[in-house]
Structure 1
Amino acid sequence: MSTIIYPAPIFGPVHSRRLGVSLGINLLPGDGKFCTFDCIYCECGYNKDFRPKQKVQTREAVREALEKRLAEMKENGPFPDVLTFAGNGEPTANPYFPEIIEDTLALRDKYFPNAKVSVLSNATLIHNPKVFAALNKVDNNILKLDTVDMDYIRTVDRPTGHYEVENIIEGLKAFKGNLIIQTIFMKGTTEDGKDVDNTSDKYVLPWLEVVKQINPRQVMIYTIDRETPDQKLKKATKEELDRIARLVEEAGIKASASY
């Protein structure tokens, strides 16, 4: 199984299917995975297989490394389209996340004022007031909602702590549209034979009704792009993703599909 463990605190830039030239900011340990989900499709592998020994990144370490890299890019290129908080797990789990967001916005304004600041989050910690406030400050507050079916969430996203999708939905509504919903669609089965196809109306229509209630400014739908720890998962087709995107657009919400 091929997995990706990202360096910390800065990696890239990489070309993102959804965001363009993206400079990655990894607030988690650089030697393993630290996440509140344990998704069967995660390119970083299963949590149990990549327990980190290092600690999460400090505010000072991130600020110094980010400024050094931005200064190099300013001189030598490439210019980033976006500074993206991602990496080896859930970025908002770093206890310094709110302060690091403040530093990053200031450095962005200094070096690349046209670049966006994005956070890729699984939304498990949005009820923390400081996390909520920090997410409201970034340009692209990208929050995951793969389905509204708890059985599917337990099978695929596999939260490591207490998780109630109804509470997450209420937390997403609290952003009052200042968010982007991110959803993966896929097919195949788990290694123990459970069907994980969420492209049918059984999953899409209830999800769509909740998306309408949340009323995000955009929905990003995508499918598997890299090798997954569960070997029996399959990509959703372009036609399936286009159909779902069209349903979102018909509901009056901007949608993009990444194949």
Structure 2
Amino acid sequence: MSTVIYPSPIFGPVHSRRLGISLGINLMPADGKVCTFDCIYCECGFNADHRPKLRRPTREEVAEKLEAKLKEMKTEGQLPDVLTFAGNGEPTAHPHFAGIIDDTIELRDKYCPKAKVSVLSNTTMADRPEVHAALLKVDNNILKLDTVDPDYINKVDRPVSKTYDVKKIIETMKSFNGHVIVQTMFMRGKTGSEDVDNTGEKYVGPWLEALKDIKPQQVMIYTIDRETPDHDLLKASHETLDAIRDRVIEAGISCTASY
């Protein structure tokens, strides 16, 4: 099984299909994965396969390492397009996430004021007041919504909490009043003997209606790009993604597709 465990707290820069030259910020331990989802398509593998022994980086460590990397990149004349909170799990699970966002914005303004601050989150903690307030401060508040079907979510995204409620997630997304980018994975294939194709009308139609309620500034749809821990998953085709993208645009919402 080929998986990616990212260094912590800073990795890259890497080229993101959706964001450009991205300097990654990983708030999880450098030797494993800590996430409130256990997605069957996660490039970092399954949670149980990568239990960390190291601790999370502190707020001070994140700021120190980020500043050092930005100084280096500025000297080399290659500043990032975006500072992206991602890595080995859910970034908003860090106990000092809000303070780290404040530090990151301050460092961005000092070294690379044109760069955007982005957070890739599964939305499970976005209703917490301090997390919600922090996400309102970033340029790209990118929240995951692969479907609105609870059975599919439990089969594919596999929330760790048994109280996960997609209706509550949608309400949280709505509470950002448009300051949200919805990110959705579309794919085909199977997990075990069960089909996981979410590109048909059964899933796309209700998902599109949820987007109309959320009123995001943008939607990013994508498909599998790297090896997945569940090896029976397949990419959605260009044609399929384009058709879904066009339906979102027809609904009056900006949408991009990454293949």
For this structure pair, what is the TM-score category when the shorter chain's length is used for normalisation?
over 0.9
Tell me which residue corresponds to 1:95: 95
Could you tell me which runs of 5 or more consecutive residues in structure 1 were left unpaired when the two chains were aligned. none
Tell me which residue corresponds to 1:80: 80
Offset from partner CA, 1:32-60 (integer Å, 9 cap, x none): 00000000000000000000011111100
Offset from partner CA, 1:187-221 (integer Å, 9 cap, x none): 0000x211000000110000000001000000000
SS in 2 for 1:189: strand
Tell me which residue corresponds to 2:14: 14
Distance in 2 (CA, whole Å) between partners of 1:117 and 1:170 is 24
Tell me which residue corresponds to 2:174: 173
1:164 lines up with 2:131 in the alignment: no
Tell me which residue corresponds to 1:220: 220
Distance in 2 (CA, whole Å) between partners of 1:226 and 1:57 is 26
Tell me which residue corresponds to 1:146: 146
SS in 1 for 2:195: coil
SS in 2 for 1:39: coil
Q: TM-score, normalised by structure 1?
A: 0.99
Tell me which residue corresponds to 1:113: 113
Distance in 1 (CA, whole Å) between partners of 2:113 and 2:222 is 28
Per-residue deviation at 1:18? Answer: 0.2
Distance in 2 (CA, whole Å) between partners of 1:57 and 1:194 is 38
Distance in 1 (CA, whole Å) between partners of 2:56 and 2:38 is 18
Tell me which residue corresponds to 1:236: 236
Could you tell me which runs of 5 or more consecutive residues in structure 2 were left unpaired when the two chains were aligned. none
Per-residue deviation at 1:127? Answer: 1.1
1:187 lines up with 2:178 in the alignment: no
Distance in 1 (CA, whole Å) between partners of 2:77 and 2:57 is 25
Tell me which residue corresponds to 1:129: 129
SS in 2 for 1:136: helix
In structure 2, give the amino acid aligned to 1:164: D
Tell me which residue corresponds to 1:26: 26
Distance in 1 (CA, whole Å) between partners of 2:4 and 2:21 is 19
Distance in 2 (CA, whole Å) between partners of 1:85 and 1:78 is 19
Distance in 1 (CA, whole Å) between partners of 2:228 and 2:115 is 30
Aligned residue pair count? 258
Distance in 1 (CA, whole Å) between partners of 2:23 and 2:125 is 23
SS in 1 for 2:213: helix
Tell me which residue corresponds to 2:201: 201
SS in 1 for 2:42: coil
Distance in 1 (CA, whole Å) between partners of 2:155 and 2:93 is 22
Q: Structure 1 vs Structure 2: percent identity of aligned residues?
A: 67
SS in 2 for 1:79: coil
Tell me which residue corresponds to 1:54: 54
SS in 2 for 1:256: strand
Distance in 1 (CA, whole Å) between partners of 2:179 and 2:126 is 13
Deviating runs (4+, > 6 A) in structure 1? Answer: none
In structure 1, give the amino acid aligned to 2:24: G
Per-residue deviation at 1:77? Answer: 3.2
Per-residue deviation at 1:78? Answer: 1.8
